[in-house]
Structure 1
Amino acid sequence: MSSLVLRGVHDVVSYIDARPRISGRAGLIWWLALGGLFLDAFSNSALSAGLGPMTRDLHLSPTQIAILTSLASWVAIAFNPIGGWMADRWGRIPPLIFAKFLAFAGAGFAAFAPTFELVLVGRFFVGAAYGIDFAIAMAVLAEFTPARLKSRLNTWQGIWYTAVSSNLILAIAFYNLGVGDSIWRFAVGSAGVVALALFLAQIIFMVESPTWAARKGLLDRAAASMSKIYGQDFTPAPLADRTPILNMANRGAANIALIFRGTYLPRTILAATVQIGQSIQYFAVGWYLPIISLTLFGSDFVVATLGALVFNVFGIIGGFMSPRIGKILGLRRASAVGFGAVFVMLLILGFFYETLPIFLAFLVPSLFILFHSGGPGANGKSISTLSFRSELRAGANGVIGALGSTGAALGLLIFPLLKAELGLGPTFLILSAVPLAACIICSIIKWDPTRAPVSPDEETDAPQFRNDAAQVAVPTR
């Protein structure tokens, strides 16, 4: 078989973009990266289903609940940019694997913690893992996805709700085993099992991103990765024949300043708006669906959990539909429409939740989750990932992810406090301002990475790279 010579990053990207599908070792890597996002959702929602029993078991006050549920997101604020910096400097795979170790440690601390304070220690590690993993996993997905399939990045949202629903099903199973108010320990501990399985699988099967390596000038390493991933022989071109890397951002953490200037500024504003808006509305409402379900359907644990499960099934539907919705509408318009619909659902819940008939009590929160997951829920990460070139991508995801984690932390912190002080209806009405503002901003900014005339990726932003875009690596014998 002939060897394919790589002259530069454009050859790597051209080869990946020419692939008809994401299959073989590349497909396994793609799904293992998504598996990390499954773990992030599973770990983050592990307390959700068992929050009521946990409150009784540890005798938690509303303030303690707010601190405990929001802590992982506060920690992720710091570790989002740290993870992005690590990935842009040293590669995608080592910090991804390290994140699984942190998630495993955090699950163990929390599951066996005898006190509230030690549960907080466990949630600290979970937040660190979440912050590191999410920024990097999305970058990996982007760098293994052909350009024409880039809306498929939104698949992560369906994976998220699958993980949350799995937690709810496990909660019902543990409840039927008669574990009592310790049910939350089993939910948290099961996240440790998932973390350990992914830790081992990623060590064995993950391969460094050839796009990252080539963009860093490590063409030998890129060729080795390509050979391992695609089962063909790739070799780096001689130094004299290599395509120079133009406009390379090589200032480490100082690269972050680039995303707040020039053409990147509106992209950053849009991605940050979607990320913050969707985080607040989900973690202030969607994460607390088991608690909301108790209010709507009564105090029976199984009935309330089944209600929350129904809501999250709509999240699975919307999440797996989001790639198609994004392809039809574009990520920006899909976000604007989704935010607008969520605003309407929150108004209905705010004014009428006490008088809704049982059918609408199921339908309205279900539609909230459907519109959220089909639009802005998926698009914040995808817009961020697709809007920046390779050596900026993970770092930008880290910064914008930190802003999203701030929104998540605020949502998790604010909801129980507002609910305790004002009641559920006024809380919904106050929170409705968030999707309304996000809808307006998404309608004003016109940037959309799926509608750009030229790929926003750095691998095609230089004229000579665009002329070579249709060429795949040069074969030699």
Structure 2
Amino acid sequence: MTGNAAVVLRKPDDVLRLIDSGRIRPKNPVLVKIVALGSIFVDGWDLSSFGLGTVQITSEFNLTNSGISLHSLPFISTVILIGAMVGGLFGGYLTDRVGRTKMLMITLFLLVGATVLSATAPNPELFCLWRFLMGVGVGLDVPVALAFVAEYSAISNKGRNVTMAQVMSTSAAAVAFFAIIPFHFMGIGDQLWRWSIGLGAVPALIVLVLRFIYTAESPMWAAKYEGLDKAAEILRKNYGLEVTVEEDGGRAAQQKERFRPGSLLALFRSPYTARTVLVSILVVCQAAQYYAISLYTPKIFDELFPGDIIVVLVLSGAVNVIGAIGALGCVAGTQRLGLRRLGLIGFSITAGCLAIISGAFHLLAASISVILIALFSAAHNFGAGYVGTAMGTLSYPTAIRGIGGGYTQAITRVGGIIGAFAFPVLLDAQGMRFTIGAIVLAPLVAIAALLLIRWDPVGKDVEEHGDEDTTAPTTVGADRAPTNSN
């Protein structure tokens, strides 16, 4: 159903079924993804910039590699994650409460301001404050961005479209590493980290302008919370449909159809308990390995190629390009293989890479270590990196999707805090080999969880079948709507 086809809306579920069926698509589906997921690009840029700057930041602020204080690199590394955890908990509720569009705008203002202030911070105290606020912005934004994309997508494409976030994040990291190389040749020197972080404000501003011009509310959310008339208005504007509202039983009946935002406890009630447990384990494990390895990739390369910043930048950028290719594989394989299989493949390869690097770190040639780290990045982005996050968005219906996404982001940061804090502490105390070996536990736990809890939301209509057994084996693609490019 495209163009000016006419539809009749009688209840909120009509809107959900219409979009989920794939019979309609927005006028600019690519723009919808770019506008919503642009903040994921900003987040990826910031994380890579901080990873690049850890050596210079440590030197400028005279940081230690242990302890919990404003002068500790492990603590400063986790401040943004603590902020994101706080933002995720509140962001999920606010996403369901005030709507997708308002949150998309508010969070970008916060991200732009915090990015600039972080880059110009004169001392570690202010740097920590701005990094915390940056984290709050990320935590607020990611749940709404993923919910927004999911609610503009048909069931046949929800998984594929949501996992595009991983492509955005990894591509941003690659761009950030390569973009900063000219500034090194300009003689920036020890201030390179400030330029790297500060340049992140440029894509943030671009996304902010695009959101201001093009963003419209999710029709699914509008149908639930603002009524059919508002949902019909959005469908007319963004989908080019002729829409007629014929309410069953008048306005009072429509009010009864609306849902109040759900509570966090709803995620742990039947039928969502097993889904939430699986999501929690997956995101903690993937974040632990990501923030330990990917965040500190420049630091690892600096140990392999000491004193050669250009080699570190080029290799870090190249590894993230390979990671982006892996993320594209995730997007391409989501609907075909499902998130569960992607996770099993990705975590298995990352576990193997980490085990080899740890077991023979001092025996491997530097080039072999680089190849293994690149393979780790590809596998992480192919199957480990966004499987849990995507499940956290796709496993819940519209009424609690924001809460689910917010919880997922908050618990993700727990794993991130473990990885970001533990890596420099263990590295300083035990060395690189032991540190990487300890991280192998993360993918192994994730694999065990995927084998025990056989849930996969790809191809599932969670709006209509939310009471199904979450532990039952999943047939990917069952009851799938016709495919389109939405």
1:105–1:125 CA contact under 8 A, matched in 2 = no
2:40–2:169 CA contact under 8 A, matched in 1 = yes
CA gap of 1:9–1:249, structure 2 versus 1, over 3 A, is: closer
The answer on 1:37 being equivalent to 2:40 is yes
Query: Which residue of 2 is the match for residue 193 of structure 1?
Result: 202
- 3-state SS of the aligned residue for 1:4? strand
Letter in 2 for 1:24: K
| 1:27 Cα offset (Å) | 3.3
CA gap of 1:326–1:238, structure 2 versus 1, over 3 A, is: closer
Which one of 169, 177, 188 corresponds to residue 178 of structure 2? 169
Which one of 160, 166, 174 corresponds to residue 157 of structure 1? 166
Which one of 416, 419, 422 corresponds to residue 424 of structure 2? 416
Which one of 57, 60, 63 corresponds to residue 54 of structure 1? 57
Count of aligned pairs = 461
Q: Distance in 2 between matches of 1:377 and 1:422?
A: 27
Which one of 111, 115, 131 corresponds to residue 107 of structure 1? 115
The answer on 1:139 being equivalent to 2:142 is no
Query: Which residue of 2 is the match for residue 232 of structure 1?
Result: 241
The answer on 1:327 being equivalent to 2:335 is yes
Q: Distance in 1 between matches of 2:245 and 2:271?
A: 32
Q: Distance in 1 between matches of 2:125 and 2:42?
A: 23
Q: Distance in 2 between matches of 1:138 and 1:335?
A: 19
2:51–2:296 CA contact under 8 A, matched in 1 = yes
Query: Which residue of 1 is the match for residue 10 of structure 2?
Result: 7
1:386–1:449 CA contact under 8 A, matched in 2 = yes
Query: Which residue of 2 is the match for residue 466 of structure 1?
Result: none
- Within a 5 Å distance, the mapping from 1:44-443 to structure 2 comes to 44-63=47-66, 64-152=72-160, 153-216=162-225, 218-240=227-249, 250=260, 252=261, 255-443=263-451
Q: Please give the TM-score of this superposition, normalised by the length of structure 1.
A: 0.91
| 1:84 Cα offset (Å) | 0.8
Q: Distance in 2 between matches of 1:354 and 1:20?
A: 57
2:108–2:137 CA contact under 8 A, matched in 1 = yes
Listed one character per residue, the Cα deviations across residues 409-434 of structure 1 (whole Å, up to 9, x for unaligned) are 22111111110111010001111111
1:353–1:361 CA contact under 8 A, matched in 2 = yes
- In structure 2, the gaps of 5 or more residues are 67-71, 469-479
- 3-state SS of the aligned residue for 2:364? coil
CA gap of 1:430–1:347, structure 2 versus 1, over 3 A, is: same
1:13–1:459 CA contact under 8 A, matched in 2 = no
Letter in 1 for 2:456: D
Listed one character per residue, the Cα deviations across residues 447-471 of structure 1 (whole Å, up to 9, x for unaligned) are 111254xx12x256599xxxxx989
CA gap of 1:461–1:304, structure 2 versus 1, over 3 A, is: closer
Q: Please give the TM-score of this superposition, normalised by the length of structure 2.
A: 0.89
Query: Which residue of 1 is the match for residue 69 of structure 2?
Result: none
| 1:248 Cα offset (Å) | 6.7
| 1:44 Cα offset (Å) | 2.7
- 3-state SS of the aligned residue for 2:200? helix
| 1:18 Cα offset (Å) | 4.4
| 1:69 Cα offset (Å) | 1.5
1:41–1:163 CA contact under 8 A, matched in 2 = yes
CA gap of 1:93–1:145, structure 2 versus 1, over 3 A, is: same
Listed one character per residue, the Cα deviations across residues 324-350 of structure 1 (whole Å, up to 9, x for unaligned) are 232332211211221122111111111
Q: Distance in 2 between matches of 1:422 and 1:74?
A: 26
| 1:377 Cα offset (Å) | 0.4
Listed one character per residue, the Cα deviations across residues 177-231 of structure 1 (whole Å, up to 9, x for unaligned) are 1101101111111112222222222111100001011123621111111111112
- 3-state SS of the aligned residue for 2:105? helix
| 1:5 Cα offset (Å) | 2.4
Listed one character per residue, the Cα deviations across residues 103-145 of structure 1 (whole Å, up to 9, x for unaligned) are 1111121111111111112111210111001111110111011
Q: Distance in 2 between matches of 1:258 and 1:400?
A: 14
2:18–2:24 CA contact under 8 A, matched in 1 = no
Letter in 2 for 1:219: L
Letter in 2 for 1:32: V
Letter in 1 for 2:30: G
1:9–1:459 CA contact under 8 A, matched in 2 = no
| Stretch deviating more after TM superposition (124-133 or 350-359) | 350-359
Q: Distance in 1 between matches of 2:355 and 2:466?
A: 44
Q: Distance in 2 between matches of 1:217 and 1:136?
A: 17
